Amino acid sequence: MSDKNTELDKQIVMQCGFTEKESECWQLLTLAVNSFFALPSMHPTDQQEVANAIHIIQNKLLSRPAYRKYLDLHKKRQETTGD
């Protein structure tokens, strides 16, 4: 990924609600993915297995802003209602 694309990707994930550290993790994951897929293939299933693992990590990162919002809304409701 070029520096321009990396910066654009950072802006996009930040607009999704990522923190600076989450954005950094996303960028490091991208670097790791690109580095791994640049290696010579060792086994026919490696690419699919790695892609599945990457998607799990991406989904965990992508869910963090929504979960923070959920916790915040729950806390505000408790403060308002006393529940």
Which residue range is the domain that position 41 belongs to?
3-81
Dist CA 63 CA 71 (whole Å) = 12
Are 33 and 54 in contact, with CB atoms under 8 Å apart? yes
Average pLDDT value for residue range 38-67:
96
**Residue 40, helix vs strand vs coil:** coil
What does pTM read for this prediction?
A: 0.84
Confidence of residue 67 (pLDDT cuts 50, 70, 90): very high
Report the percent of the chain where pLDDT is more than 90.
Answer: 87
- Count how many domains the chain has: 1
Instruction: Name the average pLDDT for the chain.
Output: 93
